[in-house]
Amino acid sequence: MFCPSCGTQNNDDAAFCSNCGTVLKQSGQQQPSFNPPIQNMSNQPMSPADDPGADTILKVVSFCVPLVGIILYFVWSKERPKSAKDVCTFAAIGFGVGILFYIIMIVFAAVAGSSMDTY
C-alpha cells in the first residue's frame, strides 16, 4: 500500500508509514489510494519557452539576420514580452553593425579605387 501523505510503498499490513509515520489503517476505514503525480521523465524542456539556451541561440541569429529578430518580436510580443524585447534589441544592434560594416566597405573600396588611378 502507498502512503497517502508521502507516496512511500509500505507493506499491506502496516499501520504506519515507514517513511513519514502517517497512520495507514484505521479500524473499519478504507484506505485511499495514492496516485503519484505524472512527471516529465525526459531531460527535454516542456516547451521552447522554458529553454534559456534556445533564447540565446535566437538572439545570436537575430543579430546576424535582423529580419528574424523583427519577426520573432511580433510573434512573441504578447506571450513572451521580455524575450521579444531582447531579440528585437539584438536585431537592431545587428542591423546597426551591418550598416557600419557596409559604410566601411564603401570607404575602403573608394580608397582602393583612387589609389589604383595613380599607377
Q: What is the mean pLDDT of residues 11-28?
A: 76
* Per-position DSSP letters for 59-111, written without gaps between them: HHHHHHSHHHHHHHHHHHTTT-HHHHHHHHHHHHHHHHHHHHHHHHHHHHHHH
pLDDT digits (tens, 9 = 90+) for 48-62: 555 567 677 877 888
99 touches 106 (CB < 8 A) = no
The conformation of residue 20, written as its DSSP 8-state character, comes to T
Extents of the domains making up the chain: 1-35, 51-117
pTM comes to 0.48
Q: Sign of dihedral through CA atoms 94, 95, 97, 98?
A: positive
pLDDT digits (tens, 9 = 90+) for 54-100: 677 877 888 788 888 888 888 888 888 888 888 888 899 999 999 99
